[in-house]
Amino acid sequence: MLKAGNFSHMNTNKTGIQTLWRQYVLYIRDVKGLSEVTIRNYSNDFETFRDFLNISNIESVSHVERYTVRDYIGWLLKNGFYRSSVSRKLSVIRGYFRYVLSQGIITSNPVPSKNFLVKGRKLPHVMNSLEVERLINAIESCDVSEILQLRDRAMIEILYSAGLRVTELVNIDLSDIDLLVKEVVVTGKGAKQRISFFGEAAVRAIESYLSLARPHLTFDSDQKALFLSKLGERLSVRSIQSRLKKYSAAAGLPGKIHPHKLRHSFATHMLEGGADLRVVQELLGHSDISTTQIYTHVSNRELNKTYRRAHPLAQE
């Protein structure tokens, strides 16, 4: 249950959540030397925390207690975030409150230790290829302008075709993508770069978006981002999540469809198609192959279903 903070007469201009976040961003950029991509990813995670605090009517860091963070964890899990995502978001706000503590504004860090939330090994849910097709086709059935339809089709096509994280998608610049060789330079976790590949369907969708839609979204000729919002700014993670929710509902797909489910589906379909595990690891940008191996269990689960359905002696 969400709990509201008890407001004192403390000057919230100095202890305000967003004011201190801006100071923290300057610190991690200028002192810690974090990249703009990493800072943008941190900001996306922090935005989720601010949403929760707004719901809880909390405006000052001095009103964030340990129970507030516990409520936040429960809120994230209730809203379908994976434990790995929750751990990452906690890591971001832990660093933020560590900075606030160093400034003498609070007396203790309300965020629990790193080992507080143990990552689960729950098998990811995946979409089959027909469900992915239904999701993409549902775009045309929604009450959305043709410009945004073209953008969103291109966005979903490359998410699935290249197996990208949603943060990787929003960080793609025009100069990162090569439609002739069907490659894109992706900046992943820890600002590590890799080459990802995509198929002909994604090429056609991106070409249509670039020629027919993006010019109508561009208000600044110096804008580098590939995918733009209606205001001509780099598209946000939240916007993409919202679009997918809209289209999955229109397609009548079961369960919650989020950007990472397309990445799960990409990995599983690659393995089912015979791709080597090490290749899939490289394509996903996993530093540890054990992270990729979870998809072999998903793939094996589908193989088991096929076996039970098809083998004459496997049926009861």
Give catalytic residue positions: 165, 189, 260, 263, 286, 295
Tokens encoding 146: 């043709």
Distance (Å, whole) CA 261 – CA 152 = 16
Helix 146-162 to helix 200-208 angle (10° resolution) is 150
Say how many Å lie between the first and final Cα of the chain, rounded.
46
Crossing angle for the helix pair 17-30 and 83-102, nearest 10 degrees?
A: 90
- Which residues make beta-bridge pairs with 195? 185
117 in Cβ contact with 93 (< 8 Å): no
Handedness of CA 113, 116, 121, 125 (dihedral sign): negative
The two structure tokens encoding residue 95 = 């660093």
Sign of CA dihedral 286, 290, 296, 297: negative
Q: Cα angle at 115 between 87 and 101, to 5 degrees?
A: 80
